[in-house]
Amino acid sequence: MKKILTIQDISCVGKCSVTAALPIISALGIETCIVPTALLSTHTQFDGFTFRDLSDEMAKILEHWKTQNFHFDAIYTGYLGSESLINLAIEFISAFKEENTKIIVDPAMADAGQLYAGLPAGLEAKMKKLCGCADIILPNISEASLMLDEPYPGEDAGKEEIEALLNKLSSLGAKSSVITGVDFGDGTLGFAGRAEDGSFFSYGAEKINMSSHGTGDVFAATFTGSLVRGASEFEALKIATDFTSACIKNSYNDPDHVSYAVNFEAEIPYLLKRAGII
Ligand code: PXL
């Protein structure tokens, strides 16, 4: 069985990070190993959340794992709440990256041009370094502009602005750079990317007029799982886009949906069909 290591927080309530990655990657038939970076009572969009940094425990986990013969098909990092957590993620990558291990970095740290509540100012500089270790990076528009020290162009950034960001992102060192949450202005929303050879690619699915949390994590987990299952990078990105759009639509149509995340659980049967499993 293929195996993915994901390095991100456990938010006890929030349906993001590990609590999205585990069910989605497992549903795709892939073993999911986790390194929890922090324990939060909820994700950081709630008032009064608690945060326990697990750096000390991570260092011990790393030392133990170095005595074991573990192999991962991909290492996927998400939200990392401090510089020391980013350093530790880099240490895990250097310890476990083999020739065919795909490294996926979602620099989950910002939205609407602003760092998430509770994150230290300047975290983007460190996140750039982590992006340099990746095969594929998945920032949204806010994260891309923060890491590049460019003005935030807004969620309605046009093709030229997005391509200029993608060209600059490629200098961070990842093979492919993919900006998520791109509004194509024609009723579709999706991703725009730049491949290693400098070519651009993009794809959008139905845009649902609802702002939702945790969609970046659903997207990144679905992409990583689909890639490890054997889809091409572009196909895996398309599966992730279609599934994320379906999750948002499901929440939009559900009068009882929670405000802090999307109904991804209800769309797992669709994911299995879209990924060609059933
Ligand atoms: O979904 C990204 C995310 C992950 N983890 C934590 C968060 C957020 C977004 O707010 O707060 C703890």
* CA of 93 relative to ligand 1 center, distance in Å: 21
- CA-proximal residue: ligand 1, atom 6 (nearest): 43
Is any ligand 1 atom within 6 A of the Cβ of residue 44?
Answer: yes
Which is the closest atom of ligand 1 to the Cα of 16?
1
Residue 96 to residues 59, 61, 103, Cα–Cα distance (Å): 14, 13, 10
Nearest Cα neighbor of 155 from 207, 119, 200 is 207
| Average pLDDT score over the chain | 98
**Backbone dihedral angles phi then psi of residue 200, each to the nearest 5 degrees:** -100, 150
Residue 145 has a pLDDT of 98
Buried/exposed 35-71: b ≥16 CB within 10 Å, e otherwise:
bbbbebebbbbeeebeeeebeeebeebeeebeeeeee
236 band by pLDDT with thresholds 50, 70 and 90:
very high
Residue 56 has a pLDDT of 98
Q: Pairing mode, if any, of strands 110-111 and 102-105?
A: unpaired
**Bridge partners, 13 (sequence order):** 42
pLDDT in tens, 64-96: 999 999 999 999 999 999 999 999 999 999 999
Percent of the chain with pLDDT over 70: 100
Can you tell me the distance from the alpha carbon of 65 to that of 45, in angstroms, rounded to the nearest whole number? Answer: 33
Is any ligand 1 atom within 6 A of the Cβ of residue 116?
Answer: yes
DSSP-derived secondary structure letter, 249: H
Across the range 26-41, mean pLDDT stands at 98
pLDDT in tens, 136-170: 999 999 999 999 999 999 999 999 999 999 999 99
Please check whether residue 88 is in contact with residue 62, taking contact to mean a CB–CB distance below 8 angstroms: yes
Please check whether residue 236 is in contact with residue 271, taking contact to mean a CB–CB distance below 8 angstroms: no
